[in-house]
Amino acid sequence: MARTSKSAKKTTKKGLGQGRRPKGEDLVSVMAKILSARKSPMRVTEVADAAKKAGYQTSSPSFVRIVGMRLSMDSRFKRTSWGYYTMKKGGK
């Protein structure tokens, strides 16, 4: 019986993070446009809904969580209170 090496058994796993996004605007750019058009802070769910209405396509069941993570990680956005975000002054 012949042994096979571990590298020979390696297969590509289809799943999270394997797909490529179709050409178009990235999520952070879409959110920046949405928040810069508003004077008052928006809830994360409102930003997610507005992004979908603006034409951002996603099949993620946890899209609101993704939006929240991007808002909290990007320096262009400022958290005003729990769950509310706005653009920072200067927008950069």
Spell out the domains of the chain, with CATH numbers in brackets. 25-87 (1.10.10)
Amino acid at 63: F
- CB proximity list for 44: less than 8 A, separation 6 or greater: 64, 67, 68, 71, 83, 85
Instruction: Give the pLDDT confidence score for residue 53 in this predicted structure.
Output: 94
pLDDT digits (tens, 9 = 90+) for 2-33: 555 555 555 455 555 555 555 677 899 999 99
Give the C-alpha distances (Å, rounded to integers) separating 75 from 22, 28, 53, 89. 25, 11, 24, 11
**Global pTM exceeds 0.75:** no
